[in-house]
Structure 1
């Protein structure tokens, strides 16, 4: 019986904790609701002549509805040694009750509590995007060791462990596929809805979904170091970072509150002597001024909108490291783009093979690929891939093979001497005249040429090129439509750079750039266009990314990019840059709307109070209503 009793007690405790956790995010809204019911009770008691009971109900409404905001206001005042808008509201509510306006004071507290609850809801809604992300990573993994399977907590996984992931399961850790093939849904990482096929030696990431086949994965990172965890940490820190506009408003708030208090003190006395108002009227109007002049709506104009925009971006694979970077995006005058891996795919592809008319094209490609299969050079690997895709034959091992650094490779196949490499390696003059000058034509298109000679005679030219991404032209044109000047920076030769720039349709290009010269070009662009972004792969472009006003890394799922840039595109998709710029413009537009609206409302209410057109309940509704409206307007960015 005793163990059963203990078990029951533990379950009851868990239920109680679970219940508390569920209502915790809604505590402010529940308190505001109770405050509203107590105000109704106080009004009914007053109507039926129960004055004392009415005052008790109003006092309870004050305490329950105003506790959260009063606590927040006092803590901030003590910490910053400066009064804030929360304290203005508390003073106004207490002042109203002192002159007998219990109902008005309680309504002020009630609406203030509702707007505070709504603001908290906005923050929670933004953070919920990250919480829902965190829930995507499994807590357990199926460890495979010596033919046995064992379920263990993800936190206990070590680098090198092999785990089995079955169809439909989420991948618990970053790793490399050792066995099997499947389609992986990487939406949680990249924001891309289309699943990707992956096989042996390809990377997979924690939090993504194994869609079709069973795969065995070798763990490459500790659970707290996964790309997934880094994304969560990055967005959490971004949400706590304040934009320049928000910092300005917060600095302005302290001075503004002091000015309001001075004006309120003046209004307590001056109208009585200068305009013959009664003391009660002067005090009443001073309390209304305390309410309507408070910059609550102005303070709430920026943060909810910024948090919503950052959450929106994270949901679509655009990770923004803070409001300052998002704010800067809408003011871009120019954007510099690295060529390799940004405008292009980053891997050379065979575009054309020109073979002497009396030779068999397939045999030449087969022989060249067999030789190049022993090299790790990107051009060699591209030739091998092309051969495997176009010829249904197994590659063979040449009779002899020698690498000539900086020039190419020599080999012997069936007694024939093969040379594969640069033009000068096979004979520059012969290379230029081969196939009626075809080499010059291919080079003018930005191709890299590999020459093949057999027994001293030039036999073929293979043209390779780092191909421009399919989406590049559309993405560049989108940026141009937004009035942004586009520039390509590349380490390639002038001829190649010119061809790629023309194909990708950028406005301008700079060729033969070293990392330090890219920095110089970015500085020149900043002096000309003021606000400049740099887009790169986050590794060799790091100095230029740091120099630009906004550094944008093409992530492609690499955590190196997370450390480098201000904004990370988790999928190598240039179109996301235009999306980020649009998001920034939407955010800044909504912030401007909020600021103009809140200032206008404050000015109208202050004037109405001075000319005695408005009473306290309407002042409360106008002031707090404007606060609620600007928060709701900021929430639109979550869509």
Structure 2
């Protein structure tokens, strides 16, 4: 069916209406302000009834949204709230003839409400922007033919084409081609990463300059990008303990205020001789200034802002309770493999027999190890490929001896590569004046290479400490955090890694269940403790800690169990998260102390008759606006 001109006009105007609707509270508040000014000008021309009509319009337009919200919340929760207090105060002001003051109260209250809505929308902007950039279609390649399909139709194993400038539509591995990927939406890292065949790519990231084909490895609803959205949306709906306390406190407080206001209407007249008009007027001022609007707004805007700030930097908090708790952490326990270290062994030392050429021997060893999929074998092959362009040789005969090593025939020689007991324990022990024992004492694993003449080489490998680990742990120490390493490795290896990373202390030979019991002892010693891990075996410890922190490139189980997820495996983000948490708690304390102080000062001023209704309105609602603006500081940097 053809689209009519009217339909086109409606379609093009829809986004404009959506934008207007988003700001409807602010528009209503501004219109209310215009009506108040108009009413005031009309009153100067002695048109009192017309002036009251404009004030009444200001009441309705400015107060409708908040009054509706207050009534609905009262019915839903069967409890009184701040919105109703403001509603009663405005009506009370009008009853005793203070139309201007009542309208001003409505105007500033609606303005502060619009500002709070703006803060909430601002704090959710990161997620909105993620939703907007989520790819909807992909180019699937089937038997050399390209077809455009919705991402929900992609299956694991499909091949998709990603052209320069396009967003990657699904998680996968590059099948062919080389390109540079902007992964800032996933990791928070602004520097693009060059990737080639076999490298992992993520949905939502931008392919900058090369055309690549990608093999899909996850369904659309299981992508890392989709998990980020789900995590942050869940976090924004979860309330912190402080927020829950304030909300429980609000209902009781409102009831107390209403009771005191009722008493205020009679006691000053009967005890102090105030006339009825003054008594009612002071009661209305009390109703305004004693309302806990600023106190109620002290926490949620700051929490939402902090969660969004973290999401922008690749730090995902699963709720306000976790970001609030992180600031109280006294010690952090770290898993070793894949967290403090790279998680893969690398060649660190090669010691060859005096009659051997190191390059030639490594060439033979890598050629034989290339026939194995053992992590140590793969590390030796990778070491050769990183330093040499020569292709590997094909052994004439190969036998993989599980648990021991490789037996092969190459270049007309018999070769053994593996443990000392496999090549000859005594000979291995005596090789090059017992160099193997020295390497093992440094926490390294030694692989021996034996030819027909005896032990030809000893190759030492070790899981290398990440480049950023030392600086990240130093940052934590500067924040006053104690660092502990939990590892299943031997005492020797643990001691060596602890020295390299400069961690405060370590606990070696930990099984998954031992990690949990060790972590409980750390909690007894330090109180609030966080745990950082990336593997399936870390999940029990992550759940036991007060705050569990998972590395984003780790297992799905670890990410599901943890309270905080670092989307990029960058340990320095932990100190950044702690500073952000402390900043949020600092701002919340400032807000609470400030709002309570203002309420006390305004109540005292009203009782001693120093305060009139306009100043009460400005003081009360002004404090609410200042509290919300202060909360917006959590959207900025993590510094003080």
Shared fold, TM over 0.5? yes
Query: What is the match of residue 460 of structure 1?
Result: 457
- Please state if 1:377 is matched with 2:374: yes
- Please state if 1:305 is matched with 2:302: yes
More off after superposition, 205-214 vs 9-18: 9-18
- Please state if 1:516 is matched with 2:523: no
| 5+ long unaligned stretches in structure 2 | none
**Matched residue SS, 1:351:** strand
Q: 1:570 aligns with which of 548, 567, 573?
A: 567
Structure 1 segments, 4+ long, off by >6 Å, are none
Q: 2:596 aligns with which of 599, 605, 630?
A: 599
Query: What is the match of residue 400 of structure 1?
Result: 397
> 1:366, CA displacement in angstroms?
1.2
Query: What is the match of residue 615 of structure 2?
Result: 618
User: Cα deviations across residues 64-92 of structure 1 (Å, max 9, x unaligned)?
Assistant: 00011111111110011000000000000
Give the whole-Å Cα distance in 2 for the aligned partners of 1:136 and 1:618. Answer: 47
Query: What is the match of residue 286 of structure 1?
Result: 283
> 1:221, CA displacement in angstroms?
2.5
Give the whole-Å Cα distance in 2 for the aligned partners of 1:147 and 1:392. Answer: 32
Give the whole-Å Cα distance in 2 for the aligned partners of 1:148 and 1:543. Answer: 48
Query: What is the match of residue 440 of structure 1?
Result: 437
> 1:220, CA displacement in angstroms?
2.4
Contact 1:538 1:565 in 2 (8 A): no
- Please state if 1:110 is matched with 2:111: no
Query: What is the match of residue 167 of structure 2?
Result: 170
Contact 1:557 1:570 in 2 (8 A): no
> 1:13, CA displacement in angstroms?
1.7
Contact 1:554 1:568 in 2 (8 A): yes
Q: 2:190 aligns with which of 184, 189, 193?
A: 193
**Matched residue SS, 1:398:** coil
**Matched residue SS, 1:540:** helix
Contact 2:535 2:554 in 1 (8 A): no
Normalising by the residue count of structure 2, what TM-score does the alignment of the two structures yield? 0.97
Contact 1:539 1:564 in 2 (8 A): no
Contact 2:331 2:483 in 1 (8 A): yes
User: Cα deviations across residues 166-198 of structure 1 (Å, max 9, x unaligned)?
Assistant: 111111111221111111110000001111111
Cα–Cα, structure 1 residues 358 and 456, in superposed 2: closer, same or farther, change >3 Å? closer
Query: What is the match of residue 353 of structure 1?
Result: 350
Contact 2:180 2:210 in 1 (8 A): yes
**Matched residue SS, 2:483:** strand
More off after superposition, 408-417 vs 474-483: 408-417
Cα–Cα, structure 1 residues 292 and 104, in superposed 2: closer, same or farther, change >3 Å? same
Query: What is the match of residue 468 of structure 2?
Result: 471
Give the whole-Å Cα distance in 1 for the aligned partners of 2:317 and 2:481. Answer: 20
Query: What is the match of residue 72 of structure 2?
Result: 75
- Please state if 1:148 is matched with 2:158: no
| 5+ long unaligned stretches in structure 1 | none
Matches within 5 A, 1:215-364: 215-364=212-361
Cα–Cα, structure 1 residues 68 and 558, in superposed 2: closer, same or farther, change >3 Å? farther
Give the whole-Å Cα distance in 1 for the aligned partners of 2:27 and 2:215. Answer: 49
> 1:561, CA displacement in angstroms?
4.5
Give the whole-Å Cα distance in 1 for the aligned partners of 2:608 and 2:12. Answer: 57
Query: What is the match of residue 18 of structure 1?
Result: 15
User: Cα deviations across residues 476-512 of structure 1 (Å, max 9, x unaligned)?
Assistant: 0111111111000111111011000011001110111
Query: What is the match of residue 131 of structure 2?
Result: 134
Query: What is the match of residue 488 of structure 1?
Result: 485
Matches within 5 A, 1:22-41: 22-41=19-38
**Matched residue SS, 2:213:** strand
> 1:271, CA displacement in angstroms?
0.3
> 1:558, CA displacement in angstroms?
6.3
Q: 1:60 aligns with which of 54, 57, 73?
A: 57
Give the whole-Å Cα distance in 2 for the aligned partners of 1:7 and 1:448. Answer: 75
> 1:453, CA displacement in angstroms?
1.5
Give the whole-Å Cα distance in 2 for the aligned partners of 1:155 and 1:488. Answer: 42
Q: 1:48 aligns with which of 41, 45, 49?
A: 45
More off after superposition, 148-157 vs 324-333: 148-157
**Matched residue SS, 2:4:** helix
Query: What is the match of residue 540 of structure 2?
Result: 543
**Matched residue SS, 1:158:** coil
Cα–Cα, structure 1 residues 464 and 557, in superposed 2: closer, same or farther, change >3 Å? closer
Contact 1:190 1:557 in 2 (8 A): no
**Matched residue SS, 2:346:** strand
Give the whole-Å Cα distance in 1 for the aligned partners of 2:466 and 2:400. Answer: 32
User: Cα deviations across residues 414-467 of structure 1 (Å, max 9, x unaligned)?
Assistant: 442211111122222222221122112211222111111223721210011111
Give the whole-Å Cα distance in 2 for the aligned partners of 1:616 and 1:320. Answer: 43
Give the whole-Å Cα distance in 2 for the aligned partners of 1:312 and 1:219. Answer: 31
Q: 1:416 aligns with which of 399, 413, 428?
A: 413
Contact 1:267 1:282 in 2 (8 A): yes
Contact 2:141 2:161 in 1 (8 A): yes
- Please state if 1:586 is matched with 2:583: yes
> 1:153, CA displacement in angstroms?
3.0
Cα–Cα, structure 1 residues 228 and 512, in superposed 2: closer, same or farther, change >3 Å? same
Give the whole-Å Cα distance in 2 for the aligned partners of 1:134 and 1:335. Answer: 34
Cα–Cα, structure 1 residues 387 and 470, in superposed 2: closer, same or farther, change >3 Å? same
Give the whole-Å Cα distance in 2 for the aligned partners of 1:495 and 1:428. Answer: 20
Cα–Cα, structure 1 residues 220 and 406, in superposed 2: closer, same or farther, change >3 Å? closer
- Please state if 1:631 is matched with 2:628: yes
User: Cα deviations across residues 296-330 of structure 1 (Å, max 9, x unaligned)?
Assistant: 00000000000000000000000110011111111
Contact 1:538 1:564 in 2 (8 A): no
Contact 2:486 2:508 in 1 (8 A): yes
Contact 2:170 2:202 in 1 (8 A): yes
**Matched residue SS, 1:513:** coil
